[in-house]
Amino acid sequence: MKLVILDRDGVINFDSDEYIKSPEEWAPIPGSLEAISRLHREGYTVVVASNQSGVARGLFSMDMLAKIHDKMLTAVRAKGGEIDAIFFCPHGPDDGCRCRKPLPGLFEEIATRLNRSLEGVFAVGDSERDVVAARAVSARPVLLRTGKGERTLRKSKSLDSAPVFTDLAAFTDALLAGELA
Distance CA 72, CA 69 (A): 5
Rg (CA), the chain: 15
The one-letter amino acid at 153 = L
Residue 47 DSSP SS3 = strand
C-alpha dihedral sign at 72, 76, 77, 79: positive
Query: Is 7 a known active-site residue?
Result: yes
Interatomic CA distance for residues 32 and 172, integer angstroms: 9
| 63 belongs to the catalytic site | no
- Write down the catalytic residue from 7, 15, 130, 167: 7
Q: What distance in Å separates the CA atoms of residue 71 and residue 55, rounded to the nearest whole number?
A: 18
In which element (H, E) is residue 113 found?
A: helix 105-114
DSSP bridge partners of 142: 124
List residues with catalytic annotation. Answer: 7, 9
